[in-house]
Amino acid sequence: MKSVVTILSSGAFALLLAATAAVLPARAETPAGPLVTTEWLEKNIDDPTLRVVEVSVEPGLFERGHIPNAQNIVWHTDLVDTVRRDIASREDFQALVRKLGIDKDKTVILYGDNNNWFAAWGAWIFDTYGIDAKLLDGGRKKWEAEKRPLSTRAATVAASTIALPEANAAIRARLADVISVVDGKSDTALVDIRSADEYSGKLFSAPGSQELAIRAGHVPGAKNVTWSKAVAEDGTIRPVEELKKLYADAGIDGSKPIIVYCRIGERSSHTWFVLSKVLGYDVRNYDGSWTEYGNTVGLPISNPAGTVWGVK
């Protein structure tokens, strides 16, 4: 009789486990590589091990509708030091990721508007503090174009107790690093990812930008590969072989370290992500970028357009 009860009890327990498994969402098998597709994310959106975070530049966009279960980061307050021109401190960023419920067992997926400009900036900051975040390939643009679900409900997650390391200086370039390249003391490739008109000096800044330099042009020796050339029409990052050719045609093949820059470091974060995460090159992001270099007294520039700054 005892053996029969044991068998029945074992069988009942197995049924209970099966029923519980059917109710609880299964943990997703995280795709290898730095990108996830919109199809994969929608299929696994309820996985409790995912932390989906929007980093957009347009105010109010998240509140009007976002990917279900996503949380929001405001790039110009959450990811930067609001007093000093610097990235968020370890203490401030640690408080943020704890609030987002991120720990070593969670998979972080970032997305945003403008073909993931600021989501890539977010990925760079996350990486700086030791968190390997993935990008949703195509960002909001592709998600919305495919008419995938949006929500206005705020996600609620339990806070984590993650402890972050100090910032990793190996993926960030400073003004002194760029000057070393200009002076021929460092065998490093410089990549200016701004538009051709900004690079040539025809424009001092991208239209609508508030951050200006009093000189136009580019860092001497820098190659110009506009960030958007790495993006397909649907907002996704181009295939690896196409990317390799794109940059190799400009003399950037990963054979030596690379420093990327733009105006304030946000667009160059996108190229940093493409070159470092997708292609595996050794890349640093110079977030001081042209507004620091172009405004620094005594530094040489290249200005093929010959423009001179002035006011009326």
Residue 274 carries which DSSP code?
A: I
Token pair belonging to 264:
């304030």
Q: Which helix (H) or strand (E) holds 259?
A: strand 258-261
Question: Catalytic pick from 191, 262, 274, 279?
Answer: 262
Token pair belonging to 299:
């530094």
Cα atoms in the Cβ-side hemisphere of radius 13 Å centred on 175 = 14
How many CB atoms within 10 Å of residue 200?
Answer: 19
What is the sign, positive or negative, of the torsion defined by CA atoms of 103, 157, 87, 111? positive
Cα atoms in the Cβ-side hemisphere of radius 13 Å centred on 25 = 11
Give the chain's end-to-end CA distance (angstroms, integer): 100
245 is catalytic: no
CA-wise closest residue to 50 among 88, 103, 96, 5: 103
CA-wise closest residue to 129 among 153, 162, 173, 151: 162
**Residues with catalytic roles:** 262
